[in-house]
Amino acid sequence: MELSVVTGDITAQAVDAIVVNLFQGVESPGGATGAVDVAIGGAISSLIAAGEIKGRRGEITVIHTLGDAYSGFAPDRVLVAGLGKSEDFDLDGVRSVSAVVARRLRRLNAGSAATIVHGAGIGGLDPEACAEALAEGAILGLYRFDKYKTSSKPTFDETRPTTLALVENDGAKIPALEAGVARAQVFAGASLAARDMVSEPANVLHPTRLAEIATGIANEGGMEIEVLDRADCEALEMGAYVGVSLGSHQPPKFIHMTYEGDAANPDNNLWIVGKGITFDSGGISLKPGLNMGAMKGDMSGGAAAIAAMQGIAALAPTLNVHMVCAATENMPGGGAQRPGDVVIAMGGKSIEIDNTDAEGRLTLADAIGFAKLKGAKRIVDIATLTGAMVVALGNGHSGAFSNDDELVGQVIASGAKRGEPIWRMPLDPISKKQNKSEIADLKNTGGRGAGSITAAHFIGEFAGDTPWVHLDIAATNMGRSVHDWEPTGATGVPTRALIQLALDLGS
């Protein structure tokens, strides 16, 4: 879809459809909606009076104007988008309405469309931020992953709408709106890149392919990248990460990408560490077969981390950002590690393998060890780590665990700005004891109770005193149904929050 910003009158746009809006409870539309109402003979007012248009959030009313039915009115259709209650409307509301509208335009087979900027008028929100949220919502809301479908044909054109113009009467506002749309394309483009990676089947997106994608993103963004093979990782004594990889025929790939936005100050850095299990069978502690196919998405944290670097390179914060993804499969081959084994992580900590299905934390242990060796001053790790996170928070929030109040506050704030909500969870001393091993420094599971907390405690052992946040995205990496700007399947969470964090830290 091609996005543009134009100066003019929404009623004069020669497009298949125009989009205006209405807050709940408004009986007489004003502004651009009022102008359109007048142009089409009061049709909007009539439908409000009849109770057909209520302005509820997510409500879309289509009015067919039949081309030349109204003198001087060019659009073929008018979509009236309900914004809900004005006091509740915010930038997430703009994203949501825009995504819903974009999907309706596609179902209407509208090739070209024009819209006013929701929230920027009577809504009282910043016009640039509204344009950014609108463009983000439209791009994200139209996402589909159907590259492998060959037989079924949709009943509407999947490529539509092909153009969407944001129309503004005041020419002085155009540069700000254009800046917002341009930034939205970077954020949304990165999120779509993450969704694509997560959506690929595991026989296509294995560790080697993930490293190739990261290399392409690094090259395009002018970033440095190194990819370590098994022998390199063994030389660095990454026993925890290498141990996970032993059951698979796919070679592990340890990916390290670097963006230098403040090269003169190497300590001004952020390390983003993404879990990269491209398929998780559970290993010897084999998962049940039901829904195991979803485990191709166990690299969602790595995908978000890699894709975030694409956006970071484009927006160029004054910050050095490193990305690490210890990619591997977790398979039950003849060489796989066993429950009861003991491995030695980078830095010397010994770990008893209590359950081979608690593998992500093992790979993160060595990834964080590598980050600390290289001088990490702030670490944020992202992982689809525990089913317990879904039980604790449902599907509305990612969970955050941290040893640093300031950094976790910045992470949560970044998520809020991008509509990727994050909720802080506790790290209490009682549950930490559950990771105690009788024969090693710690074991890789702490039992059923407080599962997401004990997993975070395990990772925290390797972060030490370095400011660190662990994001458990097991509840948010996959959508169960289309909701607002998130699809069924891979959501791309928290790609946009990570980009925003880098911008906030590097401003």
Catalytic residue list: 287, 361
CA–CA gap between residue 45 and residue 53 (Å, rounded): 9
CA–CA gap between residue 447 and residue 440 (Å, rounded): 16
CA–CA gap between residue 382 and residue 384 (Å, rounded): 7
CA–CA gap between residue 165 and residue 41 (Å, rounded): 24
333's CB contacts (< 8 A; 6+ apart) are 246, 247, 248, 249
Chain Cα centroid distance, residue 402 = 20
- In angstroms, what CA-CA distances link 102 with 129, 227, 312, 490, 500? 19, 39, 27, 19, 24
CA–CA gap between residue 371 and residue 198 (Å, rounded): 24
Q: How big is the CA angle at 129 (ends 123 and 132), to the nearest 5 degrees?
A: 115
**Cis ω on the peptide bond leading into residue 494 (within 30° of 0)?**
yes
Half-sphere exposure of 6 (CA within 13 A, CB side): 19
Q: Left, alpha or beta for 71 (phi > 0: left; psi -120 to 50: alpha)?
A: beta
Helix (H) or strand (E) holding 372: helix 360-373
CA–CA gap between residue 332 and residue 336 (Å, rounded): 6
Residue type at 372?
A: K
Beta bridge partners of 382: 274, 471
Structure-block tokens of residue 247: 């059951």
